[in-house]
Each structure stands twice: as C-alpha cells, then as structure tokens.
Structure 1
Amino acid sequence: MSGPLLTVDGIGVSFPRKGFRKPPAEVLHDVSVEIAPGECLGLVGESGSGKSTLGRAILGLVRVTRGTITFDGQVISALAPKRRRALSSQLQVVFQDPYSSLNPAMTIEDILTEPLTAAGTGRREARARVAGLLDSVGLSGGAGERLPREFSGGQRQRIAIARALAMSPKLVVCDEPVSALDLSTQARVLELLIDIQERTGVSYLFISHDLAVVRHISHRVAVLYRGEIVETGQGDEVTTEPAHPYTKRLLLAAPVPDPVAQAERRAARRALVA
C-alpha cells in the first residue's frame, strides 16, 4: 500500500469522573499520528501521559469520543464489536507484564494454537505453525508442552510475541513490552522485535517511557505530554536533539554511569523545570 497503514486523526478519549454532574475527564486531546507499513513508531511519555490509552483506543478497548482511527484503509474507531473481532487477526498486542498475560493453566502450545483454531485453522496445521513461531522467537524443542511458570520473564515475553504474530498481523501494539525485564533481557527482546520486523515487514506502535529503549527500535518517535503530542520526528533526532522542553526533560531524566555527568544532567533538568 502507498499510504499509511494506521492513521490516528484528531482523536479524543474521555473517562467519567466521580461526582454528581461532573463533566468527563478528557485524557487524550486531538491526538494525530501515522504509522507506515513496516515502520516502528515509538510513543514516549511519562506515566499518566496517555500512552497506553492511545494504544487501547487503537485496539478498540476504549471508546474514542471524537476524531477517527483508520487502519489499512478502513475507519475502525466506531466499528461494531463483531466487525472489530474480525479485525483482530491484523491488529495484535504485546502487553507489559509477561507473567499475567499468559494463562497459567494452559500449555504454551495450547495458548498459541487457540487463536489459530478459533480462526478455522486445522489442529495439525496450527501445531505446525506454532512450532515455527516458537523457533522464530528462539524457543524450539519441547517448549510447547510446558506451562508458563516454567519460563523466565524474558522467555514469557518471547511467547507473548509469538502469540501476537500467530495470525500474521500487519500491526502490533507493543505496550511497554520490556519495562518489566532486566537490562540484558530487554536488549535481547528488542533485538528479537527488530529481527522479526525485518523478516516479516510488520509495523509496530512501540509504547515506552524510556527514550533509550525507544531510540534503539524506532524509526520515528512521537512524544505525548498530558494527552497531547508535543513533538514528532525521526528517532535519532528526537532522542538525541529534542526540540520541545518536555522531551529535553525526558532525555535528561535518563541515568548515565558517570556521576559527574549525571550531576550535570540533574542540574540541567532542574533548570528546564524552573
């Protein structure tokens, strides 16, 4: 396709507030982003900025109060539930917590074959597909016969990635997929995501609060602050030479191993806040 795979155009999302006749609280304000086929868009911001809400709006898990979301040429922001379910094969998600996102009572093979068989794939074909998926994320052998509790956090996240790829989607929403992992495991999972994208051409919306992580994987970056996009641009530019003061504060908040440099960063960040 020549145009964007995903277009988010001026959307707003509001949630009800406690209290008699209080107006809804708007958490996203006129947000607009685009993702091209085969591209990774990094969405970065601090906790409470609305990053996950945007991801959930794209997935149809929260209602959009205004604006439109267009996926693969189809407006999906107001689809009926039945039509939305039919779209799930092309639009998948990897959640933040690899421990709670997998059913502890099911084997890995059952977890991965479930969406395939639900879509009409035969059991034998589904099992062959699962074996290939596990191999593609570095979990070959008898991994399919084991339970989630038998795997480490990094391995569980690899399984979650395999589940997201089972239906060969066009877009995967990665909602803080490495934030619960240690640094060495984060690096391996990021390299896995990059390798999968290069092999399959899948697009990512990669949500994170960490500019260093976003810099490593993203082609372009959008910065979300208090429900608004305040800066967008090429990944290398936004994460090294940001233009907006909020993005500069995010960059300076990232720790560095040099105590002197860290003290200078803290002072620079305090000056920006002031």
Structure 2
Amino acid sequence: MTTTEACAPAEALLSTRNLHVSYPGQGWRAPRAEVLHDVSLDIRPGETLGLVGESGSGKTTIGRAILGLAPVASGTVVFDGERIDQAGRARRRQLSRDIQVIFQDPYTSLNPSRTVGDTLAEPLLGHGAGAKEARLRVSDLLARVRLPADAAARLPREFSGGQRQRVAIARALALRPRLIICDEPVSALDLTTQRTVLDLLLEIQDETDVAYLFVTHDLSVVRFVSHRVAVIRHGRIVETGDAGTVTTRPQHAYTQALLLAAPVTDVAAQRRRREAARRLGCTATSTPSMPCCAPRIRCSGTWS
C-alpha cells in the first residue's frame, strides 16, 4: 500500500484493522469469495475520510461491514474504543444512535407510503422520544436541510431527487450521530444538485462535528469533501493520504488511472489524458468533474 500521509495520527473515532469479508461461493464445494482483504482504516472525530474506487472494488462492503450488514470473516471494527464487529442485534440497535447511513438512491431508501414526517419521527420514537419532542425535532431537521415545514406532510414521490436526498440526510441526522456512512450519496444527481447536497453535508459537519465515511467512485467529488482519502482496488487499500496530495499527485498507478478517467472540458487535454490512461492500462471509470471543486484541506502538520 502506498501512503502519502501528511497528518500526525490522532485518536480515532472508528478504526478497522486487518478486515476481511467473504461470502459463500456459488456451487457445491465452491471456495468462499473474499471481497475485502486486510483493510485497515481510521476515521477521526469531525473528519471526512473519502473512500474511492471503481464499481466492484469493495468500497460499499466496507461501509456494510461497519454497519453490521456484511459478515466479517476476520479482523476488527472498533468504534469509540468498543469492538463492534461481533455486536448482537440489541447492541446494533443502540449503535444506530451514533452510526447512521445515507444510501445512494434516496427514493428506494424511503418508504413511499409514509410521509416524510413519519419517516423522520420513526427513529426518534424508537429511541424513546415523546410525540411532541419528535414533532419539534422533525421541524428542526427539515429546516436544517432547507426543506419547507409542510414537507413533513408530503410523500417521497412529491419531491425531486435532490430534495429526497436532503430528506435522507435529515433522517440520518435525527439521532445526532457521531459518524455517518455516505454511500455514493450524490452519484445519481445532476452536477448542480450534487454541489448543493455536498455543500449541505459540509455545513452540517462544521456545525455538528459529525464524521463521514464518504464512499464514491469520483475523485473530483472526494477531493471536494474529504480531509483524507483511501483508494481501494479489488478489496485492498492501495493508497491513503491527505485529499490534496492523493487527488493531485497520486503515487499508485491505479489512483493515477482513476484521476485520468475523470473527463475535462479542454479537448486537447482530454486527448492527452486518454493517451496517458491507455499507457497505464486504465479500466477505471468516473463521472464528469464537479464545478469549482477546490481541495478541502485542514491539515498542515497538525490536525485541527
């Protein structure tokens, strides 16, 4: 693994060490299919760790393993000093107060037959909040994600894709979590809406100090939102480092290929990138770059 760390390590909110995830093979006596190989990551409080790789690289599986939705064959997942990879159902329910998720498709992650208000109130009521307290919190959440108060009485189909993703963000924030796993939260949105949602996530982080594991295939997006970046290929972490370094001066050939796969508007420059990608044997794909995506760097020797 190539490491380009510029920051001194600090106490992590979440750590995975030597994480392996495997599934039963297809067919009689088929060997188990190993999806993750020896994955070690750290996420600090208030930090965004971008996890980037092409489709099938295993990046979503890491998030699922943290959430207890993928079987951990070996290794550990530690949250706030507690090992959680073997946590039972009751403990997982308690952990949902601190660890939440935002899925890629906001429509399929929302119950189409329930109003937004009911969807947002459900986790609050499930963790002991009273009806009045839940209503007030729902109103506050809608204001936080810049949706009108009457949105609580509407169904998910009455919103645009970007608005539905804001509802999904509000639901993730309902219990005031310390870590949110963002699984491709903007890949299904147009570029302008992507920017709106990303700005909202950054604003919420500044206000609440929540940490994000931001899963994506797009280096331009991960550069915009992340403090540090980890690059995954075939279930292995191949490069880690601060966002500015990994997304502009990558050391690993695969990260270089990902960077070259992101289109640019200059025709001549795009031709040169394609030629360079062919020389690298690039098979990675990416979406068009975000507008005005300057790197998000907080680190200059010490973490702040």
Shorter-chain TM-score tier: over 0.9
Alignment partner, residue 228 of structure 1: 236
Structure 2 partner of 1:21 = 29
Deviation at 1:141, TM superposition (A): 2.4
- Taking the aligned partners of 2:229 and 2:19, their CA distance within structure 1 comes to 18
Distance 1:243 1:255 in 2: 20
Q: Alpha-carbon deviation of 1:85?
A: 1.2
Corresponding residue of 1:119: 127
Q: Secondary structure at the match of 1:237?
A: helix
Q: Which amino acid aligns with 2:137?
A: R
1:229-255 deviation digits (Å, cap 9, x = unpaired): 000000011011100000000000000
5+ residue gaps, structure 1: none
Same amino acid, percent of matched pairs: 60
Q: Distance in 1 between matches of 2:243 and 2:78?
A: 23
Aligned AA (2:173) = L
**1:177-188 aligned within 5 A:** 177-188=185-196
Could you tell me which residue of structure 2 aligns to residue 266 of structure 1?
274
* Number of the residue aligned with 1:162: 170
Among 76, 83, 105, the alignment partner of 1:75 is 83
Matches of 1:150 and 1:75 in 2, distance apart? 41
Q: CA deviation at 1:163?
A: 0.0
Residue type at the aligned position of 2:33: A
1:1-274 counterparts in 2 under 5 A?
Answer: 3-273=11-281
2: CA distance, partners of 1:114 / 1:98: 17
| Partners of 1:123 and 1:101 in 2: CA distance | 23
Counterpart residue number, 2:301: none
Whole-Å Cα distance in 2 between the matches of residues 169 and 7 of structure 1?
Answer: 17
Letter of the 1:18 counterpart:
Q
- What do the CA deviations read for 1:182-212 (whole angstroms, capped 9, x no partner)? 0000000000000000000000000000000
Q: How far did 1:3 drift?
A: 1.4
2: CA distance between counterparts of 1:115 and 1:81?
Answer: 16
Q: Deviations over 1:88-113 (max 9, x none)?
A: 11000000001111111111100000
Aligned equivalents of 1:124 and 1:142: distance in 2? 17
Q: Which amino acid aligns with 2:248?
A: T
Partners of 1:258 and 1:232 lie apart in 2 by 29
* In 2, Cα distance between equivalents of 1:180 and 1:101: 13
TM-score (norm 1): 0.98
Q: Which whole-Å CA distance do the structure 2 matches of 1:168 and 1:205 have between them?
A: 16
Q: Could you tell me how far 1:140 is from its partner in structure 2?
A: 2.5
Q: List structure 1 segments (4+ residues) > 6 angstroms apart after TM superposition.
A: none
| Deviation for aligned residue 1:81 | 1.4
Do the aligned partners of 2:117 and 2:153 also contact (CA within 8 Å) in 1? yes
Contact 2:23 2:71 in 1 (8 A): no
Structure 2 stretches lacking a partner, 5+ long: 1-9, 283-304
Letter in 1 for 2:165: Q
Deviation at 1:273, TM superposition (A): 1.3
Would you tell me which structure has more helix in proportion to its own residues? 1
